[in-house]
Structure 1
Amino acid sequence: MSLGPIHVIRQKNICSAAVIFLHGSGDTGQGVLDWLKFLVGDFALPHIKFYFPTAPLIPYTPSNGELSNVWFDRYDITPEVPEHEESLNVISQEIQGLIKTIRKDDNLPLHKIVVGGFSMGGALALHTAYRFSPGLAGAFTLSSFLNTDSAVYKQGQAFDTPLFMCHGDRDTMVPLSWGHKTHENLKKLGIDAEFHVIKNTMHEMKKHEILNLFQWIQKILSEKRQTDSQ
């Protein structure tokens, strides 16, 4: 299993931070990038480089085993089943490899890198930030959830990494209650987790949601710079 194409948004200024944006199941890095551009135009956050990797093409159980660009397999799309530990462990190696490459190429410490994503991408971001690569600047999820017995709750660490969560109130694919429960469980671990309900929104991203996310990213990275200078 290996990552597909990675699309990168570079800024004209020197890169002082990076964001890894993970797409939802069945999508691609280019697909979620195009979606963001449709919503907010050609965004440019000063000094921040965006990475949009593409998930491997693997058999996906909820789609009757058909090949799909997904980060990991699921036994079913519900929080009540066990996590597919084998595929999560495999993709964790790929994402850790990407983070290692970013750190080397952009000369960035872990605490200048943010990871997040939409739907399944957000779930992987939680595993990445709180299990596989502790010490990141922040994590974000858009319309995502964790399984009830998630390894994040049992094996998590680095709970000082802040979290930004959004969820549509009309989402029928990933119900709002799943997102709420995930937020509650993460808060119990001591994570500084914001949760924003997006009104009149299904399983999708909205313009004001993304603009608020970008503001949050700039805020936490600014706070990291202030800490570094002290």
Structure 2
Amino acid sequence: MTLDTISIMNPVVVLPTSKNHTSTIIWLHGLGDSGLGWYFLVEQLAPLFPTLKWILPNAPLRSVSFNDDATIPAWFNVASFDKTSHLAQVDEKGMLESVAYVNSLIESEANNGIRNIILGGFSQGCVMTLLTGLTIETPLSAIIGVSGWLPLGEKFIKMASKTNKQTPILMCHGDDDPVVKYKYGRSSARYLKKIGYNIEFKTYEGLGHTTSDQEIQDITAFIQQHLTTTTSSKL
């Protein structure tokens, strides 16, 4: 797949399948990034999943306190990534606006007859992946969260839907992450498992706030497993 096959429909980057479209993955980028920032993932995985359509949304531009109030792509405002800081105010309004937007993308795929939908994301995109995937009413085949955390604490329980309670979840986190601390991702995974979610958590020794070859391999295997399982169950 080359860049000239990409359809950029602001604010969504869509990478079509090379064969009959049976599945869709929606991948959410991190703070200050863009959908095309994750094109490398599509380059690596598209040949392995020829019936999988990729949707890489672009977060809206907003003033971000953590970035000296500069306007950058962000799914929600963030003042500090240190959850113990007095600056760590939660932009619930921004989060819920992004949940509604991502859910609209998911519903659009479902309304077009696609039943195998995976939602994934990195950093802020991981936050929105977990919050969206676990509160919406549309079934997902799998959920992938990389280098992020589950937001909103007790409010999440009130918002949570039963629809994806047993949907397989993969969370990945480097234990040397200086931006989103490893302990936040690990504690989020432990909490979700404690309250009954089907979650797998993988640790990457020495990895910072980025991805690694091993992490990409694990994500690939997870997609392969759950697309195959879901597709076979519908035959």
TM-score normalised to the size of structure 2? 0.86
Q: Pick which of 57-66 and 77-86 moved more.
A: 77-86
Q: Which of 91, 100, 106 matches 1:84?
A: 91
CA contact (8 A) 1:122 1:143 kept: yes
The CA distance in 2 between the partners of 1:79 and 1:14, in whole Å, is 44
Report 1:142-161 matches (<5 A).
142-147=146-151, 149=153, 151-157=155-161, 158-161=164-167
Runs of 5+ in structure 2 lacking a partner? 1-8
Identify the residue that residue 64 of structure 1 maps to in structure 2. 68
- Report if aligned partners of 2:46, 2:52 keep a CA contact under 8 Å in 1: no
Which residue pairs with 2:193 in the alignment?
187
Compared CA separation, residues 225 and 141, structure 1 to 2 (3 A): same
Matched with 2:208 is 202
The farther-off stretch of 6-15 and 121-130 is 6-15
Q: Which residue of 2 aligns with 1:12?
A: 18
Count of residue correspondences: 222
Residue 141 of structure 2 contacts residue 226 of structure 2 at CA under 8 Å; is this kept in 1?
Answer: yes
Could you list the per-position Cα deviations for residues 68-95 of structure 1 after superposition, in whole angstroms to 9, with x for gaps in the alignment? Answer: 1011122432334453211112112211
Q: Distance in 2 between matches of 1:42 and 1:67?
A: 32
1:126 CA displacement: 0.4
Return the alpha-carbon distance in structure 1 between the equivalents of residues 30 and 230 of structure 2. Answer: 28
Asked if 1:100 is matched to 2:107, the reply is yes
Deviations 1:98-119 (A, max 9, x none): 12222344x213xx11101111
Question: How far, CA to CA, are the matches of 2:137 and 2:120 in structure 1?
Answer: 13
SS in 2 for 1:132: coil
SS in structure 2 opposite 1:182? helix
**Structure 1 runs not aligned, ≥5 long:** none
From 135, 140, 144, the equivalent of 1:140 is: 144
Q: Matches of 2:32 and 2:120 in 1, distance apart?
A: 17
Q: CA deviation at 1:143?
A: 0.7
Deviation track 1:145-176 (CA, whole Å, cap 9, x = no partner) reads: 12462633442123111100111111111111
Distance 1:228 1:37, change over 3 A: closer
Following superposition, the deviation at residue 6 of structure 1 comes to 2.0
Q: Is 1:220 paired with 2:223?
A: no
Partner-residue secondary structure (3-state), 2:202: strand
What is the alpha-carbon distance in structure 2 between the residues aligned to residue 45 and residue 217 of structure 1? 9
Relative to structure 1, the CA distance from residue 188 to residue 97 in structure 2 (aligned partners, 3 Å threshold; closer, same or farther) is same
State how far apart, in whole Å, the 2-side matches of 1:227 and 1:43 are. 23
Which deviations, in whole Å up to 9, do the C-alpha atoms of 1:162-195 show, x marking residues without a partner?
1001111111111111111000111012111111
1:21 alignment partner AA: W
In structure 2, give the amino acid aligned to 1:190: G
How much does 1:26 deviate?
A: 0.3
RMSD between aligned alpha carbons? 2.1
Cα contact 2:45–2:220 (8 A) shared by 1: no
Percent sequence identity over aligned pairs? 25
Amino acid at match of 2:221: Q
Q: Distance in 2 between matches of 1:21 and 1:115?
A: 6
Contact 2:131 2:150 (8 Å CA) reproduced: no
Superposition TM-score, scaled by structure 1 size: 0.87
Per-residue CA shift, 1:39-91, capped at 9, x if unaligned? x4864413111111110001112223221101112243233445321111211
Q: Secondary structure at the match of 1:8?
A: strand
